[in-house]
Amino acid sequence: MSAGTSAAPRHADAVVVGAGFAGLYMLHRLRRLGMSAQVFEAGSEIGGTWFWNRYPGARCDIESLEYSYSFDDELQQSWHWSERYASQPEILRYIHHVAERFDLRRDIRLNTRVASAVFDDATGRWTVRTDAGEVMTARFCIMATGCLSAAKVPAFPGLERFGGATYHTGLWPEGGVDFTGQRVGVIGTGSSGIQVIPMVAKQAARLFVFQRTPHFSLPARNRPLGPDEERETKARYAGMRKVARESASGVAGYPVPTHSAFAVDASERKAAYERHWNDGRTAIGRVYTDLLTDGAANETAADFVRDKIRAMVRDPDVAESLLPRHYIGTKRVCLDSGYFDTYNRPNVTLVDLRRQPLVGFTSRGLRTEAATYELDAVVFATGFDAMTGSLLAIDIRTDAGASLREHWAAGPRTQLGLMSAGFPNLFFITGPGSPSVLSNVIVCIEQHVDWIADCLTELKRRHHTRIEATRAAEDDWVEHVNEVANRTLFPIANSWYMGANVPGKPRVFMPYVGGVGAYRNICDAVAVDGYRGFESCGD
């Protein structure tokens, strides 16, 4: 049946929404369970985040040898990474390689956005409708929609009047963009802005960076990956992956803190931060045990990085504007290649929106309370409706009248980030309430996919067809997620982790901050206890 027809629905054991890292591995596992599956992907190609975020400078902030699948040893031994931190094109090539290697494409429908998913209690099946009108039913519906895939352009006054070109980093045109000779504005200085700004600066005639909140960023110290380093890492891959799975962040190479920042004197602290700075990783918040729980401890690291920024930016006034004020690590720490040095270029101007708030667009550019800026193009590096945006964009409901949008109206509610009470056989991969975005997400994806696959195997063993989170377990988990977050400095920051970047979004800390290894143990214990907090039955 072709998309766009109103022919009879097709049927599969499972529908998977999204063909990024999560959807591809889920499909592979479903096949190995002998289940039929259909993956729907809105993009014109597979890759998820790494398909959409193809802006110049896009690069992973976790080392390539760790930011990759671990489920197949031959795959991890045979794939060659060329750089310490892989660029977006290289990661996309890897994803394509995986799809070919495991023959995944034949069950993936591209250019197809899922519009709704409705659970029918009588049949125990989900009916999934695409925006082209195709209908498919499946026993299980698995959301592999990604945590950062609903790109967000704020409602800037006058945007519709602007005659120049506009781009969002998370929806970058496939053919690329040539800014040569242009006057370009970039709005946003989070991870995406910090990566794209140095690249645009090299090409454009003039670049104006419109910054509302400065972010902490550390030098990536990216470099080609030497053959010895690659060989040596691959020789100990099994052990390294195990350490990553049991670690707090899903990264084997991150430091494991052993004592408070105040257990050592200021010069020793500075030396430790200096080593970290020179090392080129983002995990500065993991140097001491209390950096993310104690404001005074945190300030020792934050001040260290602020001093580095002052030293890198020649104009002291510009440097002052670039100094972040939040606790370091409570918003994602960025990893950059020449970001702060970009402000020393004669063709780059920082527009500090805290000093001159943005009024809006004119037909020819942007206006602040202090000046107007004529621009040929504007890049929105303004982020995403994170964690819930792509899920709630789909109308997910049951025929008994439950709606996920209503259920999550005051913030996402899940049991372990995997399921939501009232929505049988609906799974989330790296859903809210799981470590996901606070970690090496591929480690979390593999853990969730494996957990779901084991759960489906257990259902089959029980001759059951339905599983659902209980309301009591969901309530307990939501309370636990909040309680653990409230022991840290995270909820203080106006971050997208808190939903603070989307007007009207409930202010709730969405990921689970208890650590990847600890979380895995909880999920495993739940399964060993006969899927405690879930109820299963036959039709």
Instruction: Based on the shown chain and the rule CB under 6 A, indicate whether residue 61 belongs to the binding site for ligand N01.
Output: yes
* Residues facing residue 240 across a β-bridge: none
Q: Which C-beta is closer to ligand N01: that of 9 or that of 154?
A: 154
* Cβ atoms 208, 184 nearer than 8 A: yes
Q: Which one among 47, 188, 514, 517 touches ligand N01, defined by CB under 6 A? A: 188
Q: Which one among 190, 412, 431, 517 touches ligand N01, defined by CB under 6 A? A: 190
Q: Which C-beta is closer to ligand N01: that of 87 or that of 130?
A: 87
Q: Which C-beta is closer to ligand N01: that of 171 or that of 537?
A: 171
Shortest reach from residue 388's CB to ligand N01, in Å: 14
**Cα Rg of the chain (Å, integer):** 23
Q: Which stretch binds ligand N01 (CB under 6 A): 119-127, 297-305, 378-386, 520-528?
A: 378-386
Q: Are strands 125-130 and 114-120 parallel, antiparallel or unpaired?
A: antiparallel
* Cβ atoms 26, 434 nearer than 8 A: no
* Cβ atoms 216, 227 nearer than 8 A: no
Q: Which C-beta is closer to ligand N01: that of 64 or that of 112?
A: 64
Q: Which stretch binds ligand N01 (CB under 6 A): 26-34, 55-63, 261-269, 393-401?
A: 55-63
| Residues numbered 284-323 forming contacts with ligand N01, rule: CB under 6 A | none
Q: Which one among 332, 413, 505, 520 touches ligand N01, defined by CB under 6 A? A: 332
Shortest reach from residue 218's CB to ligand N01, in Å: 11
| Residues numbered 473-532 forming contacts with ligand N01, rule: CB under 6 A | 496, 501
Shortest reach from residue 212's CB to ligand N01, in Å: 4
User: Within 13 A of 421's CA, how many CA atoms are on the CB side?
Assistant: 14
Q: Which stretch binds ligand N01 (CB under 6 A): 192-200, 234-242, 251-259, 456-464?
A: 192-200
Total of chain residues touching ligand N01, rule CB under 6 A = 27
**Residue 13 DSSP label:** E
Q: Which stretch binds ligand N01 (CB under 6 A): 177-185, 380-388, 468-476, 525-533?
A: 380-388
Instruction: Based on the shown chain and the rule CB under 6 A, indicate whether residue 212 belongs to the binding site for ligand N01.
Output: yes
Which among 307, 310, 289 has a CA at the least distance from the CA of 298? 289
- How many angstroms separate the CA atoms of 234 and 76, rounded? 8
* Cβ atoms 526, 469 nearer than 8 A: no
- How many angstroms separate the CA atoms of 487 and 173, rounded? 42
Shortest reach from residue 496's CB to ligand N01, in Å: 5
Q: Which C-beta is closer to ligand N01: that of 57 or that of 422?
A: 57
Instruction: Based on the shown chain and the rule CB under 6 A, indicate whether residue 382 belongs to the binding site for ligand N01.
Output: yes
- How many angstroms separate the CA atoms of 455 and 468, rounded? 11
- How many angstroms separate the CA atoms of 383 and 495, rounded? 11
Shortest reach from residue 59's CB to ligand N01, in Å: 6
Instruction: Based on the shown chain and the rule CB under 6 A, indicate whether residue 213 belongs to the binding site for ligand N01.
Output: yes
Q: Which residue has the closest beta carbon to ligand N01?
A: 190
User: Within 13 A of 327's CA, how many CA atoms are on the CB side?
Assistant: 18
Q: What are phi and psi of 251, to 5 degrees?
A: -125, 120
Q: Which stretch binds ligand N01 (CB under 6 A): 7-15, 104-112, 184-192, 453-461?
A: 184-192
Residue found under tokens 């991969």: 429
Q: Which one among 64, 112, 145, 191 touches ligand N01, defined by CB under 6 A? A: 191
Instruction: Based on the shown chain and the rule CB under 6 A, indicate whether residue 381 belongs to the binding site for ligand N01.
Output: yes
Q: Buried b vs exposed e over 316-355: b needs ≥16 C-beta within 10 Å? A: eebbebbbbebbbbbbbbbbbbbbbbbbeeeebebbbbee
Which among 347, 351, 357 has a CA at the least distance from the CA of 318? 351
Shortest reach from residue 214's CB to ligand N01, in Å: 8
Q: Which one among 43, 383, 431, 435 touches ligand N01, defined by CB under 6 A? A: 383
Listing DSSP states for 183-203 in one string gives EEEEE--SHHHHHHHHHHHHH
If phi > 0 it is left, if psi is from -120 to 50 it is alpha, else beta; for residue 255 that is: beta
Instruction: Based on the shown chain and the rule CB under 6 A, indicate whether residue 185 belongs to the binding site for ligand N01.
Output: no
Instruction: Based on the shown chain and the rule CB under 6 A, indicate whether residue 189 belongs to the binding site for ligand N01.
Output: yes
Q: Which C-beta is closer to ligand N01: that of 192 or that of 420?
A: 192
* Residue 73, helix vs strand vs coil: helix
| Residues numbered 147-166 forming contacts with ligand N01, rule: CB under 6 A | 148, 154
User: Letter for the amino acid at 337?
Assistant: S
Residues that bind ligand N01 (CB under 6 A): 59-61, 148, 154, 169, 187-193, 195, 212-213, 332, 335, 353, 358, 381-384, 437, 496, 501
